[in-house]
Amino acid sequence: MAALGRLSQALLRSSVTQTRRQLAAAAAEHGEHSTRTWKILSFVVALPGVAVCMLNMYLKEQEHSHEQPEFVPYSHLRIRSKRFPWGDGNKSLFHNGHVNPLPDGYEGHDE
């Protein structure tokens, strides 16, 4: 009876070990397959998508006019209730003189 128990334990251990090896091999194959799939998707979908977006942005920038919009002195815009703590106190932190007018108009234009 003890021999039968040892034999069944040995068979059980070998089948469990074999199953684990098969699962590990299957997992390794799955990982390799997934890696290959994502690599192909990156080169076939993602990189051309980025290239198309860059081309679209470049063409839109070529069509864009670089003229200043007309200054309209609306009373509710560009209100300065207190000075900014940098520079001359009239320009915002990220001021761009070409597109951001001051309360009295664009910089460098005498109208």
Q: Does 58 reside within a domain?
A: yes
| Local confidence band at 45 (pLDDT 50, 70, 90 cut-offs) | very high
Q: Does 40 reside within a domain?
A: yes
Q: Does 14 reside within a domain?
A: yes
The helix, strand and coil proportions of the chain, stated in percent and rounded to the nearest 5, come to 55, 0, 40
Number of domains in the chain: 1
Domain that holds residue 55: 9-62
Q: Does 53 reside within a domain?
A: yes
| Local confidence band at 11 (pLDDT 50, 70, 90 cut-offs) | low
End-to-end Cα distance, the chain: 111
Phi, psi of 93 (to 5 degrees): -65, -40
Q: Does 18 reside within a domain?
A: yes
| Local confidence band at 81 (pLDDT 50, 70, 90 cut-offs) | confident
Q: Does 36 reside within a domain?
A: yes
How many whole angstroms separate alpha carbon 14 and alpha carbon 6?
12
Average pLDDT, the chain: 82
Q: Does 89 reside within a domain?
A: no
